[in-house]
Amino acid sequence: MTVGRVRPVGDAAVLVEVEGVDPDDVWRRVRALDRAFVDAEGVVEVCPGLVNLLVHFDPLVTDHAEIAETLRSVDLSRAPSVTPRDHVVDVTYGGSAGPDLGAVARAAGLDVDDVVRRHVAASYRVMMYGFAPGYAYLGGVPTELQLPRKETAVRDVPAGSVIIANDQCLVTTLTMPTGWWVIGRSSTPILTPHDNRPARFDVGDRVRFRAVMP
């Protein structure tokens, strides 16, 4: 099992784009490549995405060509396995904590309580980090709750907001604008920047949401 196209990025990084038709299979191969490559000589950091992997290296130890050759030689079928961790995230749904919950319910043709039940019943998987510190993109939003992003972003969405768009969910870690639908707010810390392990999740971990009273 081989990787896809490899190209240099800047002075000290290489991007490998994993090819395939099935998005889940592509993501699994990205994760396997991440695990197989993390201890390679000269590698500073490996950053998995949904369909690609960015490898930062020390240019005093190795170079683009050597990293690319190592990537192409990796046997993904022999990558070490990693047991994902399970997490529970508490959420207060609706009201000022989730101002878009009613709009999501109307768009889905459901009651507000049905939206909450379906969101809580689903199992989510951490697909990648991106956009802002601690922004863990979770795949697994139920089909009936999948809405496209809003046409216009909303400013000053509070940190801890639980937001959904298309098939993904996210718990924000900063007060920022977003075009995603805000259905609740969580008190569970997702990013603790002063800890040795600042991000609560690892890519591949499983997440479930639990409804709590305000």
In order of their start, the domains of the chain are 5-78 (3.30.1360.40), 86-211 (2.40.100.10)
Amino acid at 166: N
- Selection from 119, 132, 129 nearest residue 201 by Cα: 129
DSSP 129-198: E-SSTT-EEEE---GGG--PPPSS-EEEEPTTEEEEETTEEEE--S-EEE-SEEEEE--S-SB-TTSSS-
Provide the mean pLDDT of the chain: 90
Residue written as tokens 């191969």? Answer: 29
Are 83 and 103 a contacting pair, CB within 8 Å? Answer: no
Do 183 and 162 meet the contact criterion of CB atoms below 8 Å apart?
Answer: yes
Residue 102 pLDDT more than 90? yes
pLDDT band at 3 (very low <50, low <70, confident <90, very high): low
Q: Looking at residue 79, what is its pLDDT?
A: 63
The model's confidence at residue 90, banded by pLDDT at 50, 70 and 90, is: very high
For the chain, percent of residues with pLDDT exceeding 70 = 95
Residue-level pLDDT at 24: 79
pLDDT of residue 30: 86
pLDDT at residue 141, rounded to an integer:
97
214 pLDDT band, cuts 50/70/90, is confident
Distance between CA atoms of residues 117 and 102, nearest Å: 14
